[in-house]
Amino acid sequence: MKYMIMLYGSQDDYDAMAGTSTRQPAWSSDELAALGKFMEEWSAEFMETGEMVSGFGLVAPVHTRRVSLKAGVPVVTDGPYSETQEVLAGYNIVECDSFDRATEIAARLAKCPVPAAVAETYAWHVDVRPIEGGFETGS
């Protein structure tokens, strides 16, 4: 069965990584490199086991567009959205034998490095959800 592991963040998290946050300390180049290295190694481990199907990080929420329906007409709004602090920051698709195994794979992300100044207050979580049906296209 396939499972989606969803990673979350906020516009402020993206800004801290870019060094432009007014609320969080800027991430150093070493801290960013450690994050990138961790994610590469985490992905590679599950590619080797054949459990990683795909994974992508998403660009900052400021580059988001929401399409909603108002009185039967599609309305496009540029992000980020003040009513939402937390947004989907990336996802991975894994294919494994059980929900427990998918959860075990996701839990390994808890070891992802963050700056020391952020670690004390960092509220971290990922969601794991089974994928039902769907279709795939050739790429």
Report pLDDT for 121: 77
Q: Which residues contact 132 (CB under 8 A, 6 or more apart)?
A: none
DSSP state of 12: H
Query: Would you state the CATH architecture of domain 2-130?
Result: 2-Layer Sandwich (3.30)
Report pLDDT for 30: 96
**Closest to 54 (Cα-Cα) out of 3, 112, 109:** 3
Report pLDDT for 58: 93
Tell me the C-alpha distance between 8 and 139, whole Å: 27
Report pLDDT for 116: 87
Domain ranges, ordered by start, for the chain: 2-130
DSSP state of 109: G
Q: What is the mean pLDDT of residues 7-24?
A: 91
Report pLDDT for 81: 65
Q: What is the mean pLDDT of residues 68-90?
A: 83
- Give the model confidence (pLDDT) of 25-78 as tens digits: 999 999 999 999 999 999 999 999 999 999 999 999 889 888 889 998 999 988
Tell me the C-alpha distance between 54 and 22, whole Å: 34
- Give the model confidence (pLDDT) of 126-136 as tens digits: 999 999 987 76
Q: What is the DSSP string of 19-65?
A: T--SSSPPPPHHHHHHHHHHHHHHHHHHHHTT-EEEEEE---GGG-E
Report pLDDT for 29: 96
Tell me the C-alpha distance between 123 and 54, whole Å: 25
CA torsion through residues 101, 103, 105, 107, sign: negative
Cβ atoms of 66 and 76 within 8 Å: the answer is: yes
Report pLDDT for 133: 80
CA torsion through residues 31, 83, 63, 92, sign: positive
